A and B are shown apart, each in its own frame.
Chain A
Amino acid sequence: MSGILLVVEHRQGQLRPVSLEVIGAAVAAKEASGEAITVTVLAAQPDAYVDALKLAGVDEIVTVQTAHDAFDPDTYEAVTRALIDARAPSLVLLPHTIDTLGYAAPLAAKGNYGFTTDAFGLARDGDAWLATRSGYGQKVNMEIEFPDKATVVVTLRPGSFKAPEDVATPTVSTFAAPAVTLRSTHIEFEEPAASSAVDIPGAEFILSIGRGIGEETHVEQFKELADAVGAALGCSRPIADSGWLPKAHQVGQSGKTAAACKLYIAMGISGSVQHMAGMKHVDNIIAVNTDPEASIFTIARYGIVGDIFEIGEELRTHF
């Protein structure tokens, strides 16, 4: 068994950037193992994505034409299995995303491949692959091995690997998709609801609130605080899920990325992987939290262990 197989991801005509990060991880794995990289793209018109995948380190690009363009778990599972059967790779790398949550585990469980998810580290130990992931709410790292597995499937945490920058000229071939009886049908995409009230991706300064605010009635005082200091008001998932703020305020994987942000003040936010996905790149993060062990302090530049209401009130006196 040899070779590194990747399946990239696209949505509504756009290659998802995380796919290129997975190529970056594969290039490092190739350096460690000497195994060739095959990048696969499934789409109604897969050729459209080929140029963007011609990156340094990629040996082959395989295009698979599918009946429908939108993600379907049965199709992705069947094609990936057929490719594993045909190519016998030692390693299959996928992004850890909403789409792969739908098919990576069934693929591995039925195929009896080695399998783990949300890895942010990948290493070679002799002939074997090792993956590193978090455990216990990111309090520990877990080094995962795959005894006696000739093929190992690993999904990789977005934001953990760098996409290659240089281009190359890999060979391009086609692979015929196996016949799949679809059991689900894609109906429609819904774009995020537009909001004129807040522009999280465009904001340079965001003050963000989380579960720590406790009650819906406390939202207002933080809204006023954000206004007073000149920040856009962001929030973590529980606040939006509860309907206390519109979804447009939500920062994180399923919300918005604080793309232009230079100063991010997180108040009462513990710092889940999903929240950090939307803001950990910000240069100046200041966290205010009563829990000194909160994950957010591991990425913040400055931290205040304290009560967000007290700090908030005191802060108001300065503006």
Chain B
Amino acid sequence: MKILVTIKQVVSLDEDFELRDDGRDVEADFHVFDLNEWDHYALEEAMRLKEAAGGDIEVVVATIGPDSADEELRKCLAKGADRAVRIWSDDLEESDPIAIARVLAALARKETPDMIFTGVQASDHAYGATGMALAGLLDWPHAAVVAGLDYAPGAQTATARRELEGGAYATVKLQCPAVLTLQLGINTPRYASLRGIKQAASRPIETVTPDALGLAAGQIGAAGSLSRVRRVYVPSVGRATMLEGTPAEQAARLANLIKEFRGEAK
């Protein structure tokens, strides 16, 4: 029994970041890396299933990215993932979410997991596409934005509680194996223990090339993508009128605004 959890090393930007000369991305010097917030929940859900099953489940985390992504895989190993796989070659540059999903699908065909968990979206570009594209390419049953899961490892079906807009939910029963994108709040992710972090530092990360997964050049990178970034720019956005001064002065002005709103202002 195996659960594959796909993760992403997400990027936030340093203050005063600059654009690349070709205008199609932000200069990499200004990237700050982290593990995608959603992925903590996806991994946690897999770990809970593993622990509930007495350990007879292998949890494999996988990502697509250069060396720097090892750091995020190690965070997952530190929390108890059994194996970590990183797929990369320079040919994967310029991949959009669908091209990424093609690579993940090739890995999934090789790993033959019983379930695949991904995050609903990534905190940087928020496409919300990779996990479900992966399901489509594998032609597996799928459900998006799962906020509750009832699944016994090895079972033919799972019951997923999908979070809808406006505080509503829809419960669906779906066939397994399945691909689920998991939503924030489905569980409370654990922190890695110091011991886990220490051990993870020396554990191997399997590195795989797209070639080794049998992917042809036309399937990966820009050629395997359904979109291309033409240009990135900093939008002109609104800016609040800032209330300056000491905290006491700021609060006094805020108090006045509230009183004005309540019709009590002098």
Contact = CB atoms under 8 A, between A and B. Distances in A.
A-B complex is real: yes
Interface of A: 11, 16, 70-71, 73-74, 77, 96-98, 101-110, 112-118, 130, 133-137, 139-147, 149, 183-193, 205, 229-230, 237-238, 240-242, 247-248, 250, 253-257, 262-263, 265, 273, 284-288, 293, 297-307, 310-311, 313-315, 317-319
A140 B26 contact: yes
Interface in B229-265: 229-235, 237-243, 247-248, 250-252, 254-255, 257-259, 261-262
Given A106-B136, A141-B235, A298-B237, A304 B164 contact: no
B101 A136 contact: no
Contact of A142 (B141, B170, B229, B261): B229
A169 B258 CA distance: 48
Interface stretch (B7-15, B51-59, B192-200): B7-15
B248 A314 contact: yes
Contact of B12 (A136, A262, A301): A136
Nearest to A201: B166
A105 B98 contact: yes
| Interface of B: prevailing SS | mixed
B174 A184 contact: yes
B145 to A, nearest CB: 5
A59 B96 CA distance: 33
B126 A273 contact: yes
A310 B247 contact: yes
A189 B168 contact: yes
B21 interface: no
Given A112-B226, A301-B240, 15 more contacts: A70-B170, A102-B132, A105-B133, A142-B232, A184-B141, A187-B173, A190-B171, A241-B185, A254-B166, A255-B167, A263-B258, A298-B240, A304-B250, A313-B251, A315-B254
23 contacts: A104-B129, A109-B101, A116-B127, A117-B129, A118-B127, A118-B128, A140-B13, A143-B230, A143-B233, A145-B227, A185-B174, A186-B172, A190-B168, A205-B262, A237-B184, A250-B167, A256-B166, A257-B166, A263-B258, A303-B241, A314-B247, A315-B251, A317-B251
